[in-house]
Amino acid sequence: MITKLFKNDQFHYHVMLIPVFIVFILFNVFPIYGVVLAFKHFVPTKGVLGSPWAGLEHYHFLVQNPEIWRVLRNTLLISVGKLVTLLVLPIILALMLNELRTKWFKRTVQTITYLPHFLSWVILAGIFRDIFSTHGIINYMMESIFHIKPIMYLGSNIWFRPIIILSNMWKEMGFSTIIYLAALTSISPTLYEAAEIDGAGRIQKIWHVSIPGIAVIIALLATLSLNGILYAGFDQIYNLYNVIVYDTADVIETWVFRNGLVGAQYEIGTAVSLVNSLMGLILIALTYTLAYRYANYRIF
């Protein structure tokens, strides 16, 4: 019996999966039962499952809370801003890099612009808090060149969202060109030669050969990026915001962290996270189905 089991490859495959499933069950499956908190009145002594039911009470409370709509608006504004900048600018950057004939220069620009992707938002927040502070280099330059009085950039409801979107662009722009560059190098040189013979100039070649050549990849990445529309980037905002700019900076995840976890309103926090996660899951399913149908994109 046992020897028969050992001769079966299926058995060995399952043995190989034991470690990964242990971690998966402990840290991905177990927490799921915790979402019932969204429908409970949590009593710490009774535990999550023993606490009395609350029905949809927390959701009634939430939809009447004006903060939720503010948080939702901020989330959408910031994530859409990030999505658009990180769709358009990497394409332009990739097209420019693709035009370069000096290999070492192209490699140098790539090396430099990929770098910020690997630095954490903790480090970058430390850096940006310094350069955007009232006595920082940006204010100093603005004052000495344009005679503008120092502005509290990170404490301003006008400036905060643009700074979030631009600093995110600064961090990820270079790295996002990788896929476009890979697609651009796979365009057949004969297409460019044919265009050249037909009398196309440099810009015409970009417009009629390069861009159509990467159109499918652009559409694919645009579709897949919709996944992130409910996530405005917790690490970045959490490390850059402060109480003065909650009006424009507070997003779903930071609100949940502050009120749900730090403020110990566990049920409310879970109620918001649950809706957020479910919507996120629906978006993933939707975008991957689209990508699979129209671009033959497969994860595995």
Partner 1 sequence: MIYSKTFGSRAFDWVIIVILILVSVVTLFPILHTVAVSFSNPAVAGSGTITVLPKGLSLKAYSHVLDDKQFFISLWVSLERIGLTLLLGTVVTYLAAFPFSRETKDFRMRNIYLWLLLIVSSFNGGIIPGYMNAKNLGLYDNFWILVLPYLFNFGNILLVFNFWRNLPKELDDCANIDGAGPWLKLTQVYFPLSLPVLATISLFTIVNTWNEYFQAIVFINDTHLLPLQTYLQQIVVTIDPMAPEDIGKGGMLSEVSNQTLDAAKISLTMLPILFIYPFLQRFFIHGITLGSVKE
Site for partner 1 in 66-85 (CB under 8 A): none
Site for partner 1 in 206-245 (CB under 8 A): 220, 234-235, 239, 242, 244
Least Cβ distance, residue 130 to partner 1 (angstroms): 7
List of residues 6+ apart from 49 with CB closer than 8 A: 33, 36
Whichever of 78 and 160 has its CB closer to partner 1, that residue is 160
Among 68, 84, 87, 178, binds partner 1 (CB under 8 A): 178
Site for partner 1 in 265-284 (CB under 8 A): 266, 269-270, 272-274, 276-278, 280-281, 284
Nearest-angstrom CA–CA distance, 193 and 197: 6
Greatest distance between any 2 Cα atoms in the chain: 86
Nearest-angstrom CA–CA distance, 33 and 30: 6
Handedness of CA 57, 55, 46, 271 (dihedral sign): negative
Whichever of 66 and 189 has its CB closer to partner 1, that residue is 189
At 40, is the secondary structure helix, strand, or coil? Answer: strand
Least Cβ distance, residue 103 to partner 1 (angstroms): 13
Nearest-angstrom CA–CA distance, 237 and 167: 11
Among 5, 73, 88, 120, binds partner 1 (CB under 8 A): 120
Least Cβ distance, residue 69 to partner 1 (angstroms): 19
Tell me phi and psi for residue 197, to 5 degrees.
-65, -35
Residue 109's closest CA among 37, 181, 198, 204? 181
Nearest-angstrom CA–CA distance, 162 and 156: 11
Stretch touching partner 1 by CB under 8 A, among 57-65, 72-80, 157-165, 176-184: 176-184
Residue 159's closest CA among 247, 44, 61? 247
189 is a contact residue toward partner 1 (CB under 8 A): yes
136 is a contact residue toward partner 1 (CB under 8 A): yes
Site for partner 1 in 138-157 (CB under 8 A): 139-140, 152, 154-155
**Contact predicate 169/89, CB 8 Å:** yes
Nearest-angstrom CA–CA distance, 4 and 265: 55
Q: Which residues pair with 53 in a beta bridge?
A: 40
Stretch touching partner 1 by CB under 8 A, among 7-15, 56-64, 65-73, 80-88: 7-15
Residue 61's closest CA among 251, 257, 222, 268? 268
Least Cβ distance, residue 78 to partner 1 (angstroms): 19
Whichever of 35 and 84 has its CB closer to partner 1, that residue is 35
Site for partner 1 in 44-63 (CB under 8 A): 48
**Contact predicate 118/124, CB 8 Å:** no
Nearest-angstrom CA–CA distance, 82 and 55: 37
Least Cβ distance, residue 104 to partner 1 (angstroms): 12
Among 1, 2, 4, 9, binds partner 1 (CB under 8 A): 9
Stretch touching partner 1 by CB under 8 A, among 62-70, 71-79, 80-88, 113-121: 113-121
Among 193, 212, 215, 294, binds partner 1 (CB under 8 A): 193
112 is a contact residue toward partner 1 (CB under 8 A): yes
Site for partner 1 in 14-33 (CB under 8 A): 14, 16-17, 19-20, 23-24, 26-33
